[in-house]
Amino acid sequence: MAESDNIVVEIAEKIFADLADPQTINNDKKNSWQAPLWQALSEAGLPLSWVPDDLGGSGASLADGFALLNAAGRFAVAVPLAETMLAGWLLAQANIASPEGEMTVLPASPKDRITIDADGLLSGRARGVPFAKAAKRFAVLAHGKDSVSIALVDASKGRIESGLNVGYDHSDTVTLDKVQAVTIKAAPKGVDQTTLMLMGGVARSLQIAGALESMLGISVRYSNERVAFEKKISKFQAVQHNLARLAGESAAALAAATSAADAIANATSFNDEVYLEAASAKIRCAEAAEKGGGIAHQVHGAIGFTIEHILHRYSLRALAWRDDFGSESYWAVELGKLVARRGADELWPLVASR
């Protein structure tokens, strides 16, 4: 595990180590670990990290919050921590206070749109909303005729069709039909659906990178334990090379995700450079989830394909996280369009901007 270098991560890692041990969770078929874990995270103020004190949160920096998400990925934590953090962040953009409890954000896909009518009522359908079923409230980004609004909505006001993503976590369809918000305010300039998707995408990138780091760790350990042909399998060159490639994918994911997080944490707006960083992180981390996860399974052989083994907690989640807030193919198209629009001679200056 990476050494924690900040207090938020230190606190989170302690809680995860105590209450979110992947093996214990994997053995617990009744999910009785969820409530105590959420409670401990809430008491430490972590779900509302990105909400300033005066809006009910703990006012951690963007950078600390991103590092926390990376740690959550290393434990493949399956409670709506990232979702509540994103919701709190979105609400804070419009100066809306965050209540206690689980939240999630709508929409969670760049293709879905929530609209706001002349009476201020919200309508629309959002698919693949992570943890909608567990959420008490939604933070909603909604489009009016020429305006963007941010709203806090009671989850009971939406119609929820539950679904599960490939990682067995809730990923639901939420329909709002002329719903009255608890609070609704205009979004500040520069915060729009793209901003939300990029922010969500970077959150997922950090989680994927964390999951890959753990997959590398358990794969190396397993290869040093498993004996075949009278040798540890780690001594076979083919296995070593597979693990070296996994290390490369894990490193690339972490580099892309932390670079994007750093870009956002230090940016004054979501300009083209930040767009490049955030979109690239989602694209590259999703590719790494596919390639790296594949290798981790290959190294583990059949045991890693069992539900008893913890590998799937990381590998399937990393695959599932690819889909949230825009898949890699979506972002690749958008990034490609951006690059083309700027023109050939502006490509290198864009890449070399930081």
Instruction: Work out which of 26, 248, 272, 290 binds other proteins, going by CB under 8 A.
Output: 248
Q: What does the block give as tokens for 168?
A: 């067995």
Q: Between residue 41 and residue 60, which ones bind other proteins under the rule CB under 8 A?
A: none
d(CA 251, CA 256): 8
- As measured in angstroms, the least distance from the Cβ of 242 to other proteins is 9
- As measured in angstroms, the least distance from the Cβ of 249 to other proteins is 8
Nearer to other proteins, 7 or 351 (CB): 351
- As measured in angstroms, the least distance from the Cβ of 37 to other proteins is 22
Q: Is 294 a residue that touches other proteins (CB under 8 A)?
A: no
Q: Is 184 a residue that touches other proteins (CB under 8 A)?
A: no
Strand, coil or helix: 114: strand
Strand, coil or helix: 318: helix
**How far does CA 53 lie from the centroid of its chain?**
23
Instruction: Work out which of 104, 195, 234, 315 binds other proteins, going by CB under 8 A.
Output: 234
Binding segment for other proteins (CB under 8 A), chosen from 130-138, 145-153, 165-173, 342-350, is 342-350
Size, binding site for other proteins by CB under 8 A: 61
Q: Is 258 a residue that touches other proteins (CB under 8 A)?
A: yes
In this structure, the number of other CB atoms found within 10 A of the CB of residue 143 comes to 16
Please say whether the beta carbons of 137 and 95 come within 8 A: no
Q: Is 261 a residue that touches other proteins (CB under 8 A)?
A: yes
Strand, coil or helix: 238: helix
Q: Between residue 321 and residue 340, which ones bind other proteins under the rule CB under 8 A?
A: 328-329, 331-337, 339-340
Nearer to other proteins, 159 or 337 (CB): 337
Please say whether the beta carbons of 37 and 20 come within 8 A: yes
Nearer to other proteins, 3 or 119 (CB): 3
Q: What is the DSSP letter of 23?
A: H
Please say whether the beta carbons of 149 and 178 come within 8 A: no
Beta strands 122-130 and 114-116, pairing class: antiparallel
Among candidate residues 87, 90, 66, 81, the one with its CA nearest the CA of residue 259: 66
d(CA 219, CA 207): 18
Strand, coil or helix: 210: helix
Q: Between residue 209 and residue 228, which ones bind other proteins under the rule CB under 8 A?
A: 213, 216-217, 220-221, 223-224
Q: Is 271 a residue that touches other proteins (CB under 8 A)?
A: no
Q: What does the block give as tokens for 280?
A: 């690239």
Q: Write the single-letter amino acid at 148.
A: V
Q: Is 348 a residue that touches other proteins (CB under 8 A)?
A: yes
- As measured in angstroms, the least distance from the Cβ of 352 to other proteins is 7
d(CA 200, CA 175): 20
Q: What is the DSSP letter of 96?
A: P
- As measured in angstroms, the least distance from the Cβ of 80 to other proteins is 26
Q: Is 121 a residue that touches other proteins (CB under 8 A)?
A: no
Nearer to other proteins, 102 or 324 (CB): 324
Please say whether the beta carbons of 57 and 92 come within 8 A: yes
Nearer to other proteins, 121 or 220 (CB): 220
- As measured in angstroms, the least distance from the Cβ of 282 to other proteins is 8
Among candidate residues 159, 139, 158, the one with its CA nearest the CA of residue 149: 139
Q: Which residues bind other proteins (CB under 8 A)?
A: 1-3, 213, 216-217, 220-221, 223-224, 234-235, 237, 239-241, 243-245, 247-248, 250-252, 254-256, 258-259, 261-263, 266, 276-277, 279-281, 283-284, 287, 328-329, 331-337, 339-341, 343-345, 347-348, 351-352, 354
